[in-house]
Amino acid sequence: MADTLTRLEATIASRKGADPASSYVASLFAKGRPKIARKFGEEAVEAIVAALAEDKAALTGEAADTIFHLLVLLADAGIPLADVLAELERREGTSGHDEKAARSV
């Protein structure tokens, strides 16, 4: 699974300089971070709607869209997926309550 995300991250990075008319990802990059962030948010809301409707197929598709658009947002911000995975590893084994409280300080 991590290999799929790594390949997708590389594909997204390769589209940064592509023609926006021929690449959806390039068109997002051309529109800028606010558009990318809004698109990520739209997909997250659609995933929430699918979850609340208890529609597993729709939730699966919307989750994929959400992850994809998150990767685009991370690429635009210059944050490698490896950094996000390292942060998840750092948090592993820590209570979510404790981890959140530590960030609030």
User: Is residue 105 very low, low, confident or very high in pLDDT (cuts 50, 70, 90)?
Assistant: low
Task: Of 8-22, 27-41, 83-97, give the lowest mean pLDDT range.
Answer: 83-97
DSSP type of residue 94: S
Residue 55 within a domain: yes
- Please say whether the beta carbons of 36 and 24 come within 8 A: no
- The C-alpha atoms of residue 9 and residue 83 are separated, in whole angstroms, by 13
Residue 85 within a domain: no
Residue 105 within a domain: no
Q: What is the pLDDT of residues 18-36, one digit of tens each?
A: 999 999 999 999 999 999 9
Helices (H), 21-55: 24-31, 33-52
pLDDT at 98: 77
Identity of residue 39: K
Ramachandran class of 2: left when φ > 0, alpha when ψ lies in -120 to 50, beta otherwise: alpha
Residue 43 within a domain: yes
Q: Count how many domains the chain has.
A: 1
Residue 96 within a domain: no
Residue 54 within a domain: yes
- The C-alpha atoms of residue 67 and residue 81 are separated, in whole angstroms, by 11
Residue 40 within a domain: yes
Q: What is the pLDDT of residues 39-83, one digit of tens each?
A: 999 999 999 999 999 999 999 999 999 999 999 999 999 999 999
pLDDT at 39: 98
Host domain of residue 27: 2-80
Model pTM score? 0.88
Identify the CATH number of the domain in which residue 62 sits.
1.10.287.1080
Residue 50 within a domain: yes
